[in-house]
Amino acid sequence: MTSVPGEPCELEDCVVVGAGAAGFLAALFAGREGARPLLLESRAKPGAKIRISGGGRCNVLPSVATLDDFQTSGSRNALRNLFSTWPLERVREFFERELGLALYVEPETGKLFPRSDDAGEVLERLLAAARDAGARLQCDWRLGRLEPVAPLERRETGLASDGARFVLVADDGRELLARRVILATGGASVPKTGSDGRGFEIARELGHTLVPTHPALVPLFSADPRFAELAGIALRVRLRAVRAGAESRVLEEREDALLFTHKGFSGPVVLDLSRHVTAPDARGVKLVAHWLGERRADYDELLRSGGKKTVGGVLREELPRRLVALLCARAAVDPEARTSELSRDKRFALVRELVDCELPISGDDGYRSAEVTAGGVALDELVTKTLESRRAPGLYCCGEIVDVTGRIGGFNFLWAWVSGRLAGISAARSL
C-alpha cells in the first residue's frame, strides 16, 4: 500500500489524510464515485474524536441548523452554498437509512444521538461503509511532508501520463504518490486524539493563507477566585460578547446554561461565546451575563416592591443562594438589608450585577480541552463548489482545517460530514 524508505513509490488515485469525521466521509464518497481512496491515520486506531464526543455518546448532528450557527471570516454566501450541497435532512437520512444508525433527539438540547448512546457504533458503521465503498485504511501513518510534483518532474519521471500531482512523505520516511489529496487533518484541539495542528502547517507550506487559529468551544478561567466557590452551580443565562470602546457593540448574544467550575466558567453558552475572548483580536472584548432567574423577573421592580423582605430573601427566590451572596458582595450590598432600606445607588449597583454582570475572565483551558479550533484555511482560497485549493490544484480541504466553526451541539460534525462528502465527490470526479 505504501513504500518503505528507498523503495519506489506507489501511485494512489486519492489519498485522504486524517481518519476523523470529515476524512471518513471524504473516503466513503470518493469511493462511491469510483476512486479507490486510501485513508491515512496518524494514530493506531481511527476516529478518536468521534469516540470521545458527547461524553462517549457522539452528538452526531443538531436537529435544526441555520447559517447563524456557524462562523467564518469568509463569505457567508459561500458558506450557504456549501451547506446547500447536502441539507441537514439529507445528512440525517444518510445516517439513518444508508448507515442504518437509529437516531433520537434529546428534548432539552435538540441534539441528535444514536439510540445506543454509543459513539463506537457510529465509528463502526462509518468504517464499514467506507470499506464497502472501496476505501482502504492505513493507521500509524503520520504525514510529515506534502509536496507537489512539478510538471517538468512528472515528464522526466514518466508520471505525467499517470497524473501524479503530490508526493506524501511520512515521518518515518515512507512515501506515496497521489493524483489527488484531501486534507482532513482536523485542527489543534484535543491533541491527544491526533489533532496536533500539523495540517495547518502543511496548508501554509503549499501557499495557503491561514486565518489566525485559536481555541473555541473552550472553558474559561475566572480572574476572581470568589467565582470558584460557586463550582457546581448551573443556571440559564443570557450572555453577550461585547467589544468595549468609544462605540461599544454586541458581537454575539445567546441564551443557554452556564456552569460554574473550580476554575471559572463552562456550559453551552460560555463555550459558544468563548471564541470571542480567545481570538487574537480579543482585546477589549468582554462577556456580560444577565442572570435570568426562575421567573425572568424584572430585578429593579422586584427590589423596589420587596417591602420588608431582605435583599437576599427576594433574590434567593430567583437565583442560587451562593450566587446571590457573591453578586451582593460585588455590589457592596448587605443581603440581610431590607429592600425598602436600599438607596437608589445601591439598588442600581445591584441591578447591574444582576442584568449586566461582566464575567472576570483571566484565560482559557486551551487546546487541551477545546472542542474545536477556530480559524484555519481561508474559505476564499478554496473553490466553493468543490473545496479544491486555489493554491495547489488537486488538493482538497475539509472539516476543521477550514475556517468554519460551529456552535456546540453537533454543528461541527455537520460541517465535517458536509464538507467531507463534497471534497470526496469532487476529488473523485476530477480524476
pLDDT tens column, 48-76: 999 999 999 999 999 999 999 999 999 99
Residue 163, pLDDT > 80, answer no
Residue 158, pLDDT > 80, answer no
Residue 247, pLDDT > 90, answer no
Binned at pLDDT 50, 70 and 90, residue 161 comes out as very low
Residue 154, pLDDT > 70, answer no
Task: Work out the average pLDDT over 89-111.
Answer: 97
Q: What is the pLDDT of residue 164?
A: 82
Q: What is the pLDDT of residue 155?
A: 46
Q: What is the pLDDT of residue 151?
A: 63
Residue 181, pLDDT > 80, answer yes
> Which residues fall within 8 angstroms of residue 335, CB to CB, at 6 or more apart?
310, 311, 312, 315, 324, 325, 328
- In the chain the first and final C-alpha atoms are separated, in Å, by 20
Residues recorded for the chain = 431
Sign of dihedral through CA atoms 329, 334, 339, 343? negative
**Residue keyed to cell 480572574:** 223
Binned at pLDDT 50, 70 and 90, residue 6 comes out as low
pLDDT tens figures, 202-213: 999 999 999 999
Nearest by Cα to 238 from 214, 210, 283, 272: 272
Binned at pLDDT 50, 70 and 90, residue 184 comes out as very high
Mean pLDDT in the chain? 94
Question: Higher model confidence: residue 419 or residue 247?
Answer: 419
Q: How far is CA 407 from CA 78, 112, 169, 254, 320, in A?
A: 19, 14, 35, 11, 27
Binned at pLDDT 50, 70 and 90, residue 246 comes out as confident
Locate all alpha helices (DSSP H) within 279-338, ordered by sequence. 299-304, 311-315, 321-330
Task: Work out the average pLDDT over 377-403.
Answer: 97
Task: Work out the average pLDDT over 266-275.
Answer: 98
Q: What is the pLDDT of residue 293?
A: 85
Is the distance from CB of 388 to CB of 382 less than 8 angstroms?
yes
Task: Work out the average pLDDT over 301-328.
Answer: 95
* Cα maximum dimension of the chain: 93
Q: What is the pLDDT of residue 296?
A: 83
**Residue keyed to cell 470526479:** 429
Binned at pLDDT 50, 70 and 90, residue 5 comes out as low
Task: Work out the average pLDDT over 23-29.
Answer: 98
Q: Domains (ranges, CATH) in the chain? A: 10-214+374-429 (3.50.50.60), 220-364 (1.10.8.50)
Percent of the chain exceeding pLDDT 70 equals: 95
Q: What is the pLDDT of residue 8?
A: 53
Is the distance from CB of 383 to CB of 78 less than 8 angstroms?
no
Most confident of 129-133, 306-310, 340-344: 129-133
Q: Alpha-carbon distance 389 to 301, whole Å?
A: 58
Distance from the Cα of residue 303 to its chain's centroid? 41
Pick the range with the lowest mean pLDDT from 73-87, 252-266, 289-303. Answer: 289-303
**What are the grid coordinates assigned to 89, written together?**
435532512
Q: Alpha-carbon distance 238 to 257, whole Å?
A: 9
Is the distance from CB of 255 to CB of 199 less than 8 angstroms?
no
Residue type, 62: P
